[in-house]
Amino acid sequence: MKHLLSLFALILILSSCGNEPKPETEPMAIAPKPIVKEYGFNTEEYEFVRDTVKSGDTFGTILDAHGVPAQTVFNITNSVKETFNPARIGIGRPYAILKSKDTSQTAQAFIYENDKVDYTVVNFSDSIGAYKGQKKLTVVEKEATGIINSSLSKTMEDSGLSVVLAYKMADVYAWTIDFLRLQEGDRFKVIYEEKYINDTIYAELGSVKAVYFEHRGEPFYAFNFKHDSIIGQREYYDEEANNLRRAFLKAPVQFSRISSRFNLKRRIKYYGYKLRPHRGTDYAASVGTPILATADGVVTKSEYRGGNGNYVKLRHNSTYETQYLHMKKRKVNVGQYVKQGDVIGWVGMTGNTGGPHVCYRFWKNGVQVDPLKQDLPSAEPLEEALRTEYFMHIDDLKRRLDALEFKEENTNIIAKL
């Protein structure tokens, strides 16, 4: 009997357990679909029609092909001319037409890509307006080292580096290293930035953050630094906070060669070996090469005269003046203020010249002197109040530069010029 009672009790327990309510399971949360935007527009709300400007295309014919009335095109053209010039759309440039997703497929906006990064939106969905925008860029920091031993174009190509990086590095050291006289065996380390669209499409070279350049066995550090209190462009300073920028550029043209030096005792066979002093320094370069102001100053002459041809003269202060001869074309006018590095004209062959070059003349206290032999003043060093912040800023950059090794078998090279 006891066995029967025990068996009955066990059956009751098991049956009661089976009848216990099961815990309710919460429904899985569905993550909202991320909003994808292009040119600032939600891609789910518009139909994007993409194309490129072809020969014969105009702003009007493009919009007409997408059903925009001629009167609307006229109104758009007159309304947005301060931001967007429809007459200047270039063949091969990409554009997009944004259309509504309803059955009418009405064109709402025209987007023109000025370059890889910049674009212009002409919106005519409700009211007419235009504005400029930029694609979102991802900045990637990179490092490179190199030993100088070949031509610029070939070695840059072989190393996989952008030629723009060479020009940027030349700008960094334009006041401290004569890039016309680099030697085989000079070497560098650089930390720089590259910008990408959608993380994968290369857009452009960014800033050069830090450089170590060893020229003729002498080391030169350069660190990019900008503080809110500093008016003007970013500057490069060395490891002791001295400004690398000097009062004058080393040369008025980039990556050229000196074809004739300042020489007060020059004699020329063509003129019967008579004394014909050369009071300038000639930099040979291709016709059309930009000529740069070597320092801030005011244009005192911009004219064509005799053997000088087209020339420009700048007054920098009460001590220094510079002059640039034989230009193909002048870009500046008398009285205009120019900044160091501004283009003031282009290399040509006007006046008395046997080939394309710029004759660079340099005055000190009213006397023409050889610019290559002048001990030119340095720009102001970083002010004392900012030095602690500066040294903190460069600490990691300098350690990273010092840790980079030169690898002969896999060297990124900027060439001897």
Q: What is the CATH number of the domain that holds 316?
A: 2.70.70.10
Domain that holds residue 70: 37-134
325 shares its domain with 180: no
Residue 1 has pLDDT above 70, yes or no: no
Residue 304 falls inside a structural domain: yes
Residue 13 falls inside a structural domain: no
Q: Whats the size of the chain, residue-wise?
A: 417
pLDDT attached to residue 12: 57
pLDDT attached to residue 17: 55
What is the C-alpha to C-alpha distance for residues 175 and 178, in angstroms, rounded to an integer? 8
130 shares its domain with 144: no
Residue 409 has pLDDT above 50, yes or no: no
pLDDT attached to residue 177: 80
Residue 4 falls inside a structural domain: no
Q: Given pLDDT bands bounded at 50, 70 and 90, which one contains residue 14? A: low
What is the C-alpha to C-alpha distance for residues 159 and 409, in angstroms, rounded to an integer? 11
Q: Is 181 helix (H, G, I), strand (E, B) or coil?
A: helix
For the residues 94-122, what does the mean pLDDT come to? 92
| C-beta of residue 122 within 8 angstroms of C-beta of residue 76 | yes
Look at 231 and 28; give whichever has higher pLDDT. 28
* Helix locations, 19-88, DSSP H: 59-65, 70-79
Residue 3 falls inside a structural domain: no
Secondary structure element (H or E) that encloses residue 257, with its range: strand 257-260
pLDDT attached to residue 262: 77
For the residues 199-219, what does the mean pLDDT come to? 90
- Closest to 50 measured CA to CA, from 103, 5, 110: 110
Query: The CATH number of the domain where 91 resides is what?
Result: 3.10.450.350
Tens-digit pLDDT profile for residues 145-192: 888 876 545 556 667 788 888 888 888 888 788 776 777 888 889 999
Residue 23 falls inside a structural domain: no
pLDDT attached to residue 277: 74
pLDDT attached to residue 372: 86
- C-alpha angle 292-298-300 in degrees, rounded to nearest 5: 100
129 shares its domain with 45: yes
Tens-digit pLDDT profile for residues 210-234: 999 998 899 999 999 987 666 555 7
Report how far apart, in Å, the C-alpha atoms of 290 and of each of 305, 313, 345 are: 20, 16, 6
pTM over 0.85: no
Count the domains in the chain.
Answer: 3
Q: Given pLDDT bands bounded at 50, 70 and 90, which one contains residue 203? A: confident
pLDDT attached to residue 156: 62
124 shares its domain with 41: yes
Q: Which range is least confidently modeled, 16-25, 45-54, 91-100, 151-160?
A: 16-25
For the residues 117-143, what does the mean pLDDT come to? 91
Tens-digit pLDDT profile for residues 57-97: 999 999 999 999 999 999 999 999 889 998 889 999 999 99
Last residue in a domain, options 134, 152, 183: 134
For the residues 279-292, what does the mean pLDDT come to? 93
| C-beta of residue 222 within 8 angstroms of C-beta of residue 173 | yes
Whole-number mean pLDDT of the chain? 84
The per-residue b/e assignment along 282-305, b for 16 or more CB within 10 angstroms, e otherwise, is bbbbeeebbbbbbbbbbbebbeee
Tens-digit pLDDT profile for residues 327-370: 999 999 999 989 889 999 999 999 988 899 999 999 998 999 99
DSSP string, 262-315: -BTT-EEGGGTTEE--B-SEEEE--TTPEEE-SSSEEEEEEEEEGGGEEEEEEE
Q: Given pLDDT bands bounded at 50, 70 and 90, which one contains residue 40? A: confident
Q: Given pLDDT bands bounded at 50, 70 and 90, which one contains residue 13? A: low
